[in-house]
Amino acid sequence: MDALSLLLSAALLWVPVGTLTCYGDSGQPVDWFVVYKLPAHTGPGDAAQRGLRYKYLDEDSGGWRDGAGLISSSTGAVGRSLLPLYRNTTSQLAFLLYNDQPPRPSGSQDSSSRGHTKGVLLLDQEGGFWLIHSVPNFPPPASSAAYSWPPSARNYGQTLICVSFPLTQFLDISRQLTYTYPLVYDHRLEGDFAQKFPHLEEVVKGHHVRQGPWNSSVTLTSNKGHVFQSFAKFGNFGDDLYSGWLVEALGSDLQVQFWQRSSGILPSNCSGVQHVLDVTQTAFPGLAGPAFNATEDHSKWCVAPERPWACVGDMNRNKREEHRGGGTLCAQLPALWKAFQPLVKAWEPCGK
Ligand SMILES: *[C@@H]1O[C@H](CO)[C@@H](O)[C@H](O)[C@H]1NC(C)=O
Ligand SMILES: *[C@@H]1O[C@H](CO)[C@@H](O)[C@H](O)[C@H]1NC(C)=O
Ligand SMILES: *[C@@H]1O[C@H](CO)[C@@H](O)[C@H](O)[C@H]1NC(C)=O
Ligand SMILES: *[C@@H]1O[C@H](CO)[C@@H](O)[C@H](O)[C@H]1NC(C)=O
């Protein structure tokens, strides 16, 4: 081989590191995306597609777009981003899958003593992403060797936010997980990942913060330099995430969408300077909508009606979750706020 073809084949074989990011709905790496899986009843009658349609948002999508395919497809944003998990790669990859309602094949039991928190950390030596979501029994463990969407998550609305971060940010992210106290049902933390991220090892072992304060907020900067604010609480915090902290921290009224079909739901709360309002109906803009009730929606997000804050997380507003770990990821990104702000169609007034 001459020098040139050597060089060429080396270039072809060279697998770039640091390519682990969130992927968008058209297969391109993106800094962040949000997927809003729509409730089943909003879609067409076709049984095969029932409850698998979604809306997609990133900073270049120009607002909500119809999902490229079905949420169960491994070529859409969520499936494509999680793909490295299901390829038999080496210890160059580290991951944590956590969910208080783990997937059935993982062998873990639902746990209400752990945080009410669901997500994925996936990283290589350069960086990776944090996916925060509301989806029960998701995603499948790496050993299942294929991406899939659980039947238990078809009926109701669900939200997922994925943000790409450089490696150093995972120090702060892993510290947040010592507050949210996740149930980790699958992980890989080989090579020097465990030394680099001691908190992740602790989290995998089921360790959590041992002394107050019982809440922690950190600023995280994405690959492209966008600023996110992570809010995390441990169960001992003993108060609602939204009325007991977030509303004051963001300095604005908040409209909160959460799962309303459980006991001990907290009503809208106007006892502070800023108000926390429970969303009752969501409507996507345009004639085709769709629109749906909070009773059909398991997703968890909030938006400040007059300021550019929007958050996607994993906590509801109810009595039980005052005493559980969990959190939310907020940002003041125009593209994010402009997409969420108009979604709120109706909310519960205070003193109802
Ligand atoms: C990866 O491949 C090795 C060797 O073929 C095998 O032992 C292991 O179970 C595989 N792991 C996964 C997650 O498929
Ligand atoms: C409003 O929220 C605060 C903080 O969570 C809580 O202490 C208070 O009891 C709530 N008020 C009502 C009327 O629910
Ligand atoms: C924890 O929450 C309280 C509000 O309940 C807030 O005043 C305080 O600043 C938060 N602590 C941290 C470390 O963020
Ligand atoms: C939402 O709930 C209300 C009251 O329960 C009901 O009257 C209405 O038809 C529902 N709307 C949708 C879009 O499901």
SS3 274: coil
Whether omega for the bond prior to residue 139 falls within 30 degrees of 0, making it cis, is yes
Of the residues 293, 343, 347, 348, which should be mutated to test ligand 4's pocket, given the most ligand atoms within 8 Å of the CB?
293
- Classify burial at 96, counting beta carbons within 10 Å of its beta carbon; exposed 0-12, middle 13-18, buried 19 or more: buried
Q: Is the dihedral of CA 252, 258, 262, 268 positive or negative?
A: positive
**Counting runs of H as helices and runs of E as strands, what totals does the chain give?**
7, 19
C-alpha 264 to ligand 3 mean position (Å): 24
Write the CB contacts of 87 (distance below 8 Å, at least 6 apart in sequence). none
C-alpha 10 to ligand 3 mean position (Å): 52
Provide the token pair at 17: 């590191």
**Domain parsing of the chain, residue ranges:** 32-348
| Least confidently predicted of 21-25, 206-210, 236-240, 284-288 | 284-288
The predicted pLDDT at position 13 comes to 47
What ligand 2 atom has the least distance to the C-alpha of 240? 5
**Strands 184-188, 32-37: parallel, antiparallel or unpaired by DSSP?**
unpaired
Please check whether residue 86 is in contact with residue 146, taking contact to mean a CB–CB distance below 8 angstroms: yes
The yes-or-no verdict on residue 145 having pLDDT over 80 is yes
- Percentage of the chain beyond pLDDT 70 is 93
Provide the token pair at 233: 């609480």
The yes-or-no verdict on residue 12 having pLDDT over 50 is no
289 pLDDT band, cuts 50/70/90, is confident
C-alpha 209 to ligand 4 mean position (Å): 42
The predicted pLDDT at position 287 comes to 80
Residues lining ligand 3, judged by CB closer than 6 Å? 213, 215-217, 244-245
End-to-end CA distance of the chain: 79
Top pLDDT among 251 and 19 is at: 251
pLDDT tens track for 228-252:
999 999 999 999 999 999 999 999 9
Provide the token pair at 76: 């859409």
Residues lining ligand 4, judged by CB closer than 6 Å? 291-293
Please check whether residue 93 is in contact with residue 180, taking contact to mean a CB–CB distance below 8 angstroms: no
Q: Measuring CA to CA, which residue among 328, 327, 324, 326 is closest to residue 112? A: 324
The predicted pLDDT at position 52 comes to 97
Q: Which residues are catalytic?
A: 298
DSSP string covering 303-323, please? Answer: E-TTSS-EEEES---BTGGGG
The predicted pLDDT at position 337 comes to 98
Residue nearest to atom 3 of ligand 1 (CA): 88
Beta bridge partners of 317: none
Top pLDDT among 313 and 12 is at: 313
Whether omega for the bond prior to residue 136 falls within 30 degrees of 0, making it cis, is no
C-alpha 245 to ligand 3 mean position (Å): 6
6 pLDDT band, cuts 50/70/90, is low
The Cα angle at residue 33 between residues 251 and 317, in degrees rounded to 5 = 45
CA dist., res. 28 & res. 111, Å (int) = 36
pLDDT tens track for 118-134:
999 999 999 999 999 99
30 pLDDT band, cuts 50/70/90, is very high
Provide the token pair at 18: 């640091």
- Classify burial at 108, counting beta carbons within 10 Å of its beta carbon; exposed 0-12, middle 13-18, buried 19 or more: buried
pTM: 0.92
17 pLDDT band, cuts 50/70/90, is very low
What ligand 3 atom has the least distance to the C-alpha of 244? 5
